[in-house]
Amino acid sequence: MEQNLPEKARLLLKLKNEKFNVPDFVYIAAEDFKNNKFGDLEAFLENHRESFKVIARSAHPLEEFYKGGTFDSLETYADLSGILYARKRMIKNAATSRSLSIRRQQKFNSAPDMDPEELGIIVMPFIEGSSVMAKLIRRHWEFGYCRDRAQKMQSDPFITKTPHDRRLLEVSEKIQEFLSFRCEIEYIISADNDIHVVQAKDISSIEILELKESERSIKLDGIRRIRKQRNFRERPVYVMDNRIVYIDIINICEEMLSGKAGPTPGLQDIVAIIRAHEQALEAFALTHHRFAVLDLAEHVPEELYHVANHYLEEMPDIQKQISAVLYENLYRCDMFLAEADTLLSKDRIRVNLCSHDAYGIDTVRNPLWSVYWHSGNHSQVVKAFRRMGFKTGDTIAIEIDAEEKPMVFRH
């Protein structure tokens, strides 16, 4: 039975059964409204006549797929007509004032189609007090406080990492540990400072900006630039790793020397790898007016370059041709890098700027940025970029803080 309840009612029931301070409540399904089945509702209202007022909270079966606040919670009279009125108004709002929000979430967030008439209701006693929303952001809990409607002098909503009562933090941690997923918890803090849990929402599948940035960003060690009028830019990025190209070439050289029976690769296969690499560089440069290059290997991986040049010393004629093609490839890589206005690489790589590159009119709007990490951290930084899945064609953002430390984000 519990699994058939909407998320809002199901989680409240679990928390109440676990002895968290959840107010008494009753869930009325849409089917019960259609069939005028109000026995549970009337029994609940009979037990709460003294408050004269209750809170009716939306509980649509598909509400968990929509952002919080899409559907209404309304104060109403503690009788059947008050509940019927509140539900009718929620359904009307879903088709009118909330309809644009619902349609946008269906389009941009893949929220499922929903029928407002399927709306169920959770009814609770009305508790005077302040509303607090709690959720864990990265490693810290944040608490959003809303005004107390009973007070004549009201303050704006605010967010803090320090709750007014440490019990709020302790209860939040226990609830999330019990539910075993990241959740947003809503409380009502009554005038006598009782903490009432009135909602928990599973947010484990919702991407949070701060979390997104921490998972898709790397803080690097510094930046070299002439003009400093801006501290943020976005660029499509080409991820360059010449090491992979050279390893492919060396593998072919090994097969050429292996003496195995059957067809073996030759010079044309090595040339094909190099030309494909050069064509990829040229195509990217002709596709993007402004772009960045993320250099995950040495600009010239010297050890591999020398190995590739000397691997076929037993075949001097072929070796000479390979060396010429490799040298031309270095030249074409340099041509490609010279067209980028943003370079991300280890600090041993420096761009040799002429006066036009440094001070020319084109640099007023798009000055050259050379973002770097210390060479001693090279392997760790490369692993971080690979772990986060940076790849050619991604849009990256670079933000420079007050200490001239760049943070790189992948969109």
Name the average pLDDT for the chain: 85
Asked if residue 2 belongs to a domain, the reply is no
Domain identity same for 161 and 305? no
Select from 185, 181, 180, 182 the least CA-distant residue to 21.
185
Instruction: Indicate whether 155 belongs to any domain.
Output: yes
- Can you tell me the distance from the alpha carbon of 309 to that of 249, in angstroms, rounded to the nearest whole number? 10
**Do 122 and 164 share a domain, yes or no?**
no
**Residue 325 falls inside a structural domain:** yes
Reported pTM: 0.57
Task: Kindly state whether residue 284 falls inside one of the protein's structural domains.
Answer: yes
Alpha carbon 349 to chain centroid, angstroms: 31
Indicate whether 62 belongs to any domain: yes
Same structural domain, 220 and 356? yes
Boundary residue ending a domain (157, 174, 208): 208
Provide CB contacts within 8 A for 49, sequence distance 6+.
Answer: 78
What integer pLDDT is reported at residue 347 of this predicted model? 80
In a shared domain, residues 281 and 364: yes
| Beta carbons within 8 Å of 61's beta carbon, 6+ residues apart | 6, 118, 120
Pair 34, 84: CB distance under 8 Å: no
Displacement of CA 187 from its chain's centroid (Å)? 26
CA separation for the pair 272, 249 (Å, rounded): 10
Range of the domain at 246: 216-410
In this model, does residue 56 exceed pLDDT 50?
Answer: yes
Strands (DSSP E) contained in 241-368 are 292-295, 342-346
End residue of a domain, out of 68, 91, 126: 126
Report the pLDDT value the prediction gives residue 255, as an integer from 0 to 100.
80
H or E, element range at 237: strand 232-240
How many domains does the structure of the chain reveal? 3
CA distances from 30 to 53, 202, 216, 306 (A): 22, 23, 43, 75
Regarding predicted confidence, which is higher, 206 or 31?
31
144 and 241 belong to one structural domain: no
Q: Coil, strand, or helix at residue 2?
A: helix
Closest to 299 in 3D by CA, of 275, 327, 340, 333: 333
Task: Give domain status of residue 1, yes or no.
Answer: no
- Same domain membership, residue 382 and residue 286: yes
Q: What is the CATH number of the domain that holds 133?
A: 3.30.470.20
- Flag whether 324 is in a domain: yes
Band (pLDDT 50/70/90 cuts) for residue 304 is low
Tens-place pLDDT, residues 337-383? 888 889 998 886 666 665 556 556 566 677 888 898 988 888 899 88
pLDDT grade for 45, boundaries at 50, 70 and 90: very high
- Specify whether 31 is located in the same domain as 15: no
Whether residue 262 sits in one domain with residue 193: no
Of 208, 230, 248, the residue that ends a domain is 208
Long-range contacts of 262-266 (CB under 8 A, 24+ apart): 266/318
**Does 93 fall in a domain?**
yes
Spatial contact of 368 and 226, defined as CB atoms under 8 Å apart: yes
- If asked whether residues 106 and 157 sit together in one domain, one would say no
Q: Please tell me which residue, 305 or 177, carries the higher pLDDT value.
A: 177
Please indicate, yes or no, whether residues 287 and 352 belong to a single structural domain of this protein.
yes
Express each pLDDT in 67-105 by its tens digit. Answer: 888 899 999 999 999 999 999 999 999 999 889 889 989
Mean pLDDT of 229-250: 86
Residues 322, 285 within the same domain: yes
- Are 278 and 388 contained in the same domain? yes
Question: Which has more confidence, 1 or 7?
Answer: 7
Res 348: pLDDT: 63
pLDDT tens digits along 121-164: 999 999 988 889 999 987 889 998 876 555 555 566 788 888 88
